[in-house]
Amino acid sequence: MPHGPNRRQALAAAAGAGACAAGLGVAAGPALAVNDYAEQIIKFTGGTKPIGARVKLDLPELAENGNTVSMAVKVDGPMTAASHLEEILVLAPNNPNARVVRFRFSPTSVPEAATRIRLAESQNVIAVAKMSDGTCFFTAREIKVTIGGCGG
């Protein structure tokens, strides 16, 4: 967002055009606006409705430092030639950007992965898994964040 007189102009223009909260961006108050995580899910699954099963998302209940939160994700159940794990997309609905990371697997993969992520505030992190036959599964895991990390 531009600073100085330009910022005032931008805000005035946004208000004048009735663009409201959307035009002002996400950093307005204590709670960040919800991002486009729902659209990201639809894009990822290709419209298939994900089933709430099989995916396990491992996150601490409480993260002292939102800048580096350990996260592991796995998909339970048998992997067969017909239906094995292809991708997992992790989303943070209350981060500035919904997408956190996308993992892509091969037929020789064990269906799990781990990394460290940034979370801006307490939220329900979502993991969506896509299988080779197009079926999708998901889970959500609540995590409290004491000091937010500026995730993208």
Partner 1 sequence: MAETKPRIRLDKNDVKRGDTIEVKTLVSHVMETGLRHDADGKLIPRMIINKFTCELNGKLVFECDPESAVSANPYFQFKFKPEESGTLKFTWIDDEGTRTEATETIKVS
Q: Is 151 in the site for partner 1 (CB under 8 A)?
A: yes
Q: Is 68 in the site for partner 1 (CB under 8 A)?
A: yes
Q: What values do phi and psi take at 37, rounded to 5?
A: -60, -35
**Both structure tokens of 125:** 């992190």
Give the one residue of 31, 104, 134, 147 binding partner 1; rule: CB under 8 A. Answer: 104
| 138 touches 128 (CB < 8 A) | yes
Which residues from 6-45 bind partner 1, rule CB under 8 A? none
Give the one residue of 37, 63, 118, 138 binding partner 1; rule: CB under 8 A. Answer: 118
Return the residue matching tokens 């409201």.
Answer: 20
Q: Is 140 in the site for partner 1 (CB under 8 A)?
A: no
Buried (b) or exposed (e) across 66-99, using 16+ Cβ within 10 A? bbebebebbbeeebeeeebbbebbbbbbbbbebb
Scanning 15-23, 50-58, 64-72, 131-139 for contacts with partner 1 by CB under 8 A, the matching segment is 64-72
Contacting positions for partner 1 (CB under 8 A): 3, 67-69, 72, 92, 95-97, 99-106, 108-110, 112-119, 149-152
